Amino acid sequence: MSIAERIKVARKGAGMSQRDLGAAIGVTAPAISKYEKGEVIPNSRVLILLSEALNVNIDFFFRKVAANLSEPHYRCRKSLKKKEENIIHGKVTDWLERYLEVEMISGITASLVLPSREECRVSTLEDVEAIAQKVRDEWDLGLDPIENVMDVLEQHGIKVGIFEAPDSFDALTFYHDEKTPVIAINKSMTGDRQRYNCAHELGHLILQVEPSLDEEDAAHRFAGAFLVPREMVWKELGKKRRVIDLRELYLLKHKYGMSMKAWIHRARDLGIITKGSEKGLYIRLNRVMVGKEEPAKQVKHEMPTYMHLLILRAMNEKKITLSRARELFGGNLPEIATEVE
């Protein structure tokens, strides 16, 4: 990617027009247009002004590593504006290029470990249930709660990043160089929603859905089955229930990191409760909701650690300096006390 292309990517990622950027650095919109077309190469002073106005490190304009992204699959509660999409795309591109550079410096890349496409063809929700258990088996996850879903995905070759984004945005999935899957998650969501969205997007990456089955229904079923296998749902709730207390669901939410709402849906999927019971539980839950959040304590946010660990390793092996480590991380490296909180 040339300097001209990077100026354009950074501008769109900052949600700025050419006129906005020109005003910020004291030049005209046509001058910005010439920079972006490569007709004029900005000198070092202009590049410094551009980096400050666009909130990117100046090394962004000279990176040798470029992220080649496929068409992203967005998961949103309502459609994003084009400007919002550009901002998210810009943030993801910057993060992924830093990630790829860290891997290049360290010489370490996690191998992609996913079932083959043929193994993941599904035409029924029961097929989806089986594929979710197959993935857990192949990844040696057993039946217990997954401590950190993001880390599990990264350990098996799926890159995961978290970003500040509008509330309407949940997640997006795409491929780098048509072979490396990448998932971007909204940083501001509660931990249970982050975990569910990671599992949901994993379903989209893995499942080969036949026309007879709705793809979103399949991804939802996969997410629930991946986070809480059927055997564990039966163990916790039993195979048939007439009444379930919200306090049970609250405890299970924090044990497995899956929302109370998702637990209700999972119980209905497995035939543990009737459709009428499901509706009644949703009504009772909605009465105690605080805005859009479920009651009482929320599940802690997750953080992917793979890239962070690679940066620390490269720094301690003297492959990069502290200042370079900060550039690659995208800011100051968190202190131990910050991580523990």
Domains of the chain (ranges plus CATH)? 1-62 (1.10.260.40), 118-288 (1.10.10.2910), 306-340 (no CATH)
Contact in structure between 73 and 174 (CB atoms under 8 Å):
yes
Where the chain has pLDDT below 50, the residues are 340-341
pLDDT, tens digit (0-9, with 9 covering 90-100), for 169-225: 899 999 998 889 999 999 989 999 999 999 999 999 999 999 999 999 999 999 999
d(CA 126, CA 130): 6
d(CA 192, CA 91): 23
Q: E strands, 12-158, where?
A: 73-76, 121-122
| pLDDT score for 339 | 52
Q: Which of 261, 189, 262, 190 is nearest to 227 (CA)?
A: 262
d(CA 341, CA 338): 5
d(CA 48, CA 305): 31
Reported pTM: 0.87
d(CA 275, CA 281): 10
d(CA 88, CA 71): 13
Query: In angstroms, what CA-CA distances link 208 with 57, 121, 175, 225, 341?
Result: 40, 4, 16, 16, 40
| pLDDT score for 286 | 96
DSSP H or E run through 23: helix 18-25
Tokens describing residue 164:
């500040």
Helix (H, G, I), strand (E, B) or coil at 48: helix
Q: b/e per residue, 103-130, with b = 16+ CB within 10 A?
A: bebbeeebeeebeeeeebebeebebbbe
Helix (H, G, I), strand (E, B) or coil at 186: strand
Count Cβ atoms within 10 A of the Cβ of residue 85 and give its class: 0-12 exposed, 13-18 middle, 19 or more buried: middle
Taking residue 92's Cβ as centre, other Cβ atoms within 10 Å add up to 22
| pLDDT score for 337 | 58
Q: How far is CA 48 from the centre of its chain?
A: 31
d(CA 114, CA 137): 11
